[in-house]
Amino acid sequence: MASIYKTIRSEDIASTRTVLHEAIPLTGTIVSGTYGSYGNDENVKNYSHGMFQSVYDYPYLSSSANHIFDITLGFSTGSALSASTTSQQAKKQNIYNQMAQVLMGYDKNGVVQRFDADGNLFDTTTDKMNECIFVNFSRLLVKDEIQKGTFNLELGVSGAYHFAFNGGGNVGEGGRISLKDTGAATDFRVNSPTGEYGILYVSNSFGLALSGAIYDPGYSGTDKKAAGLIFYQAGVAVLTSSIFQGSNIGGFLSSSVQWNPNGEFITASYTGSTIQSSADSFRNRIYNLSFNNSVELNSTIYFCHLGANEFNYSSNPTYLSGSQIVVKAQSTDDPVSYLTTVGLYSSDNQLMATAKLSEPIKKTPATSLTFRVRLDY
């Protein structure tokens, strides 16, 4: 009886690489309002250390809950808010420094580099984002990385907290802005220790919340305004607090928004409120969030060739009854076997992988077959 093993030649092995993308849409109702009220959402987990909050797509105590992202905020030691902060000052500074250390790295003097709105780290004075909101996406959503040019975060920026998404004409009646990494498919930065990142540009998405002209949704010409960074492999969005501030104090809006139900503006929240409270305020202003993730699928393909005189017998004990092959009607008939599984073995005949066929394949001396077995990593 023929051997049940056959060596696969090197020329019968091929490797491929495929990049797959999956759309990730998140509505504001998922992250706030569906499973509770402001500050008491069952899908939001807060911690005793008070340094960030975790958001889930379902009440977090449920076994069905999936982690979506974490929210936190902080400011640099050079921020004008640093001296006047009375709540969690050290934690807010430590969070900013830790995020900057990981995402931006150090300069030639060993100093942690601050976040820069346009990614120009050689300019040490302008476009620095000293007060930031950080959204750390779960690896479950990001996979290998966020696909460049697909990130879109839409925020409600009305003047009054409870009108965040209502109305239409101006910021006081309700308005929304979008932050997108427009053009990042070809225009991105590589000067981060964590890999590649893009610039998030802000525009009106509903109403006229932004100061000045109506901004072109395509961000053409002078309409392009940098308001944050998106780190693709790290899965982290960094937003400047200026997106909630009026132009009279250096922000992007026609007027500053009331950040929370207490009527505070974001600067007052930074200095006098906890990180948890500020995270609640930001989360409840998320209208829509979407991006595509990317996952690299590496495959090894084995072409298993079965010649005419190979694998026409089976080692299954039920193949024989006495000395008679069960599947043969007469002793003079050609041998026949029915193939159901392909096994891949190591050089010392240890089973490493199996491939199951959807239905048995008939094999006789009159047929030759080739099975294509693909292993994905």
Would you state the pLDDT for residue 130? 93
The domain segmentation of the chain, as residue ranges, is 21-292, 307-376
Would you state the pLDDT for residue 169? 39
- Mean pLDDT calculated for residue range 177-193: 92
| CB-count exposure of residue 310 (10 Å: 0-12, 13-18, 19+) | middle
- Mean pLDDT calculated for residue range 29-45: 81
Q: Which of 151-160, 298-307, 312-321, 352-361 has the lowest mean pLDDT?
A: 312-321
- Mean pLDDT calculated for residue range 194-201: 95
Would you state the pLDDT for residue 19? 93
* Gap between the Cα atoms of 82 and 352, Å rounded: 59
Say how far residue 279 (Cα) sits from the centre of its chain: 20
Nearest to 217 by CA among 247, 185, 180: 180
Question: What does the pLDDT look like over 261-320, one tens digit per residue?
Answer: 777 888 888 899 999 999 998 998 898 999 999 999 999 999 999 999 888 877 766 666
Q: Can you read off the two tokens belonging to residue 238?
A: 């960094």
- Mean pLDDT calculated for residue range 256-264: 80
Q: Where residue 71 falls among pLDDT bands split at 50, 70, 90?
A: very high
- Look up the pTM and report it: 0.80
Would you state the pLDDT for residue 25? 94
* Gap between the Cα atoms of 178 and 187, Å rounded: 19
- Mean pLDDT calculated for residue range 162-177: 52
Which 8-state DSSP code applies to residue 335? P
Q: Where residue 2 falls among pLDDT bands split at 50, 70, 90?
A: low
Q: Where residue 372 falls among pLDDT bands split at 50, 70, 90?
A: very high
Q: What is the Cα Rg of the chain in Å? A: 30
Q: Scanning the structure block, which residue is given the tokens 């990730």?
A: 24
Would you state the pLDDT for residue 208? 58
